[in-house]
Amino acid sequence: MQKKYHRKDFLKLALLTNLSFYSKPLHFLAGEKKDTEESSAGKENLVYYKKGDPQYEVLRKGFNKRIDKFPLLIAECKNTEGVAEAIRYAIQKGLPVAVKSGGHCMEGFSCNNGGMVINLSLLNKTGWINNNTIITGPGTTLSQLYDELLPKKKIIPGGSCGGVGIGGLVLGGGYGLMARRYGLTCDSLLELTMVDGTGAIRNSKDDKELLWACRGGGNGNFGVVTELKFKTQDAPQTLQSFRFKTHNVNTAKAKQILKNWFEQVKHLPESCFSAFVLNRKTVYILVTNSDRHNDALQKIMDTFSKLADKTTKTKPQPLATALKVYYGRPQPQFFKNASAGLYKDFGDIENCIDKVIDTVIATPGMIYQVNTLGGKIQQTEFEVDSAFPHRAYPYFSELQTYWETENQGKKLLEKFAAVQNLFTANGNNVQYRNYPDINFKNWDAMYYGNNYARLQQVKNKYDPKNLIRHDQSIKNA
């Protein structure tokens, strides 16, 4: 029998990257360029692992137990020069390269079969440039980054799942509880160091187009990012959460609550985030607020309370304490989670939502969730300066399925595909790159919209032979 997943298990939000060209890395994290022979590279800058090595088994696995891939070689890199050496070796041996920072890619694009995986988990040091600027490696997890930022009363608008690597998050956009207040994670990115597909070490200060592309243009496309410089924001002092729970809903009731949710959350202040979650026959509404409570917000909370069987709220808690509630399960699990469309309003799904809800209610282990975007995410300067193409859409939805043993997955995946097909047939063809679905046919337009051709030019420049690639990586023009 399928296990019904409770809120702590699934509200993780998103509930919510030729030495003929060489430029110095951003700061001290990657070290200086060294003239090392290939034979000594493993001792100083990286270590290679192959099948049979105990560490190979550890490093090849990601967060999703559904994904089971076997690269020929894993390069565990210690610095930027180590990544450059690994790229040169992959070129020499003709190995396609996948890039892994935290290993949370929902379709396993951070691993491959028969190629090289560049593992960046050791690139997780953090340093301060000044009081408002921080530099970190792509392997730094969100929980590690928050542990560095919050004691200094600073924040970056990241996600909520504590184990996610900052590299993969920022390159695809990155949103979470603070995004409506401060923008996407990529909107705080100031500069980066990257090893491109020829082995050259590049810095975005020399090419604004590279920075534009890496602000939401996806990971595993142009090169291997080894350092990231961010501007920080003054952190809110507290975070308060409100939760509204309704049991034993049928399709009509769930639809009514969802429609009301859309009507109410469009009035939320930018300090708030909200999610509608349908977990089989239970509806949850989450609202978080990182500013002072006010009468306008209370009016929305009163409306949600009238729809719910149970209402709970926390007192305003210190941000560091409150965020840990949303860190999610640290252990790998069997699941499929993907974008189910970005919406402008309820009308975008009104014609298909009954059948979607029917399927979710009838399928143990399946969850449908809609999250708020909007706010500062829609700021014009952010849109101009980044490749993230979907800022006009104030809502993002995701479909989730979870199971306990490998043999339970087949039927759930069939149901998952059926729901995704309902959305596609309804014309919901705008999708979030950080929540990919391997079954999307027109993924290039879905993820990148009108920016895809421009991103292809960046790909041509930095990875002309398509060395760094996965099943849905940007193609050379």
Domain of 317 in residue numbering reads as 238-444
Is residue 64 included in any domain, yes or no? Answer: yes
DSSP sequence for 364-429: TTEEEEEEE--GGGG-HHHHHH-S---TT--EEEEEEEEESSGGGHHHHHHHHHHHHHHHHHTT--
Helix (H, G, I), strand (E, B), or coil: what is residue 274? strand
Beta bridge partners of 341: 397
Which of 234, 267, 285 is the last residue before a domain boundary?
Answer: 234
Q: What is the pLDDT of residues 171-195, one digit of tens each?
A: 999 999 999 999 999 999 999 999 9
Is residue 9 included in any domain, yes or no? Answer: no
Residues 258 and 218 in one domain: no
Is residue 469 included in any domain, yes or no? Answer: no
Residues 401 and 288 in one domain: yes
Is residue 436 included in any domain, yes or no? Answer: yes
Residues 227 and 243 in one domain: no
| Low pLDDT (below 50) residues in the chain | 1-41
Is residue 347 included in any domain, yes or no? Answer: yes
Count of domains in the chain?
3
Residues 315 and 369 in one domain: yes
Is residue 376 included in any domain, yes or no? Answer: yes
Q: What is the pLDDT of residues 12-71, one digit of tens each?
A: 433 443 322 233 344 334 333 333 333 334 569 999 999 999 999 999 999 999 999 999
Q: Write down the residue that tokens 């070689």 correspond to.
A: 73
Is residue 474 included in any domain, yes or no? Answer: no
Residues 289 and 359 in one domain: yes
Helix (H, G, I), strand (E, B), or coil: what is residue 62? coil
Whole-number pLDDT of residue 330: 86
Which of 104, 119, 134 is the last residue before a domain boundary?
Answer: 119
Residues 406 and 290 in one domain: yes
Residue type for position 173: G
Which of 207, 234, 261 is the last residue before a domain boundary?
Answer: 234
Residue 428, domain CATH: 3.40.462.20
Residue 17: C-alpha distances to residues 61, 84, 318, 468 (Å)? 18, 12, 33, 9
How many helices, marked H, and strands, marked E, lie in the chain? 16, 19
Residues 98 and 187 in one domain: no
Whole-number pLDDT of residue 43: 66
Residue 112, domain CATH: 3.30.43.10
- Does the pTM surpass 0.75? The reply is yes
Residues 204 and 249 in one domain: no
Residues 204 and 216 in one domain: yes
Residues 404 and 342 in one domain: yes
Residue 177, domain CATH: 3.30.465.10
Residue 369: C-alpha distances to residues 15, 285, 314 (Å)? 9, 10, 22
Residues 280 and 357 in one domain: yes
Residues 306 and 406 in one domain: yes
Whole-number pLDDT of residue 41: 44
Whole-number pLDDT of residue 31: 37
